[in-house]
Amino acid sequence: MKGFKDFVMRGNLVELAVAFVIAGAFGEVVKKMVDVIMGIVGKAGDQPDFNAWKPAGLPVGAFITALIAFLVLAAVVYFFVVKPYEAAKARLFPAETDADTQDPNTELLKEIRDSLRARPNL
């Protein structure tokens, strides 16, 4: 029983559970945002839902609705999650690209590589 308790109380498991709960709630927010945007797209096409659209008897409306919903969902996630996350990450954790901050082992490894290349093949 102690092993199970230790497993359940591990930090990673608790963090993962919290992530799933937050993701579920955030998924609903994104879904509603997509519904709003899909309504606007539907109004622009004089039809709020393309599911019933069957040109020449082919049921392509459901596919078009799903495709537009996917593209809108991808755009919402990209512009409202990915871009702000990348901007915050760049601002809070700037990358160290100076040559002065380079690992000294890297320079040593480069010297070893160069000397091995200069040796004649035996």
DSSP 7-28: HHHSHHHHHHHHHHHHHHHHHH
Of residues 14 and 90, the one with the higher pLDDT is 90
Give the per-residue pLDDT at 52: 80
Domain contains 89: yes
Residue 111 has pLDDT above 60, yes or no: yes
Give the per-residue pLDDT at 83: 92
Domain contains 90: yes
pLDDT tens, 50-99? 778 888 888 888 888 888 888 888 888 889 888 998 888 888 888 754 45
* Total tally of structural domains belonging to the chain: 1
Q: Which domain range does residue 51 map to?
A: 2-112
Q: What predicted TM-score, i.e. pTM, was given to this entire model? A: 0.52
Domain contains 122: no
Domain contains 52: yes
Q: Where are the alpha helices (DSSP H) in the chain?
A: 2-9, 11-44, 61-77, 83-92, 104-118
Domain contains 117: no
Which domain CATH number covers 62? 1.10.1200
Domain contains 80: yes
Domain contains 27: yes
- Phi, psi dihedrals of residue 33, rounded to the nearest 5°: -65, -40
Cβ atoms of 61 and 50 within 8 Å: the answer is yes
